[in-house]
Homo-oligomer: A and B are copies of this chain.
């Protein structure tokens, strides 16, 4: 089946610091017209950081879209400092957020966070063999964080009762469970 939608017009809506928004007019395979609202984003990285005690490190931070704090794995946007290298961004975010450097860093998967309306692409890493960083990078203005490590049992309870309600963090908990099942 032909799926392609041809873009017949672009209407710029908003050119922001983090996102750009546009409205496209597309021609469907059957010839009809439709509209698509699109949020462009530079991409992001997220890191499952696992301690020697087999705990996963989460950060608590304020999230404006939902007007309250969340518990999440360390993550951040790709920016010009990274030269678009997600691995470098992952190491930088671990330094900025939890002040640790991973001697082992492994790409687990890459995916679009919400491909229905956005092109934000996230790369998820596993970081182990963590040690304190030699020099601390400055945090973003307004990057206020609480940091703690949690066992798998704690994490599973937190997903169940809604204390963890961030997509990449739920993914990380499931992956962590899979890793622990396999190592038994």
Contacts and interface: CB of A to CB of B under 8 A. Distances in A.
A21 interface: yes
Interface stretch (A50-58, A93-101, A108-116, A126-134): A108-116
Contact of A77 (B5, B70, B111, B116): B116
A39 B63 CA distance: 12
Nearest to A113: B114
Interface string A25-55: 0101110101111111100100000000000
A interface SS class? mixed
A118 interface: yes
What class of interface size applies to chain A in its complex with B?
Answer: 35 or more
B64 A38 contact: yes
A3 interface: yes
A8 interface: no
A153 B16 CA distance: 42
Given A111-B169, A171-B174, 6 more contacts: A26-B142, A39-B117, A66-B112, A70-B112, A111-B170, A115-B166
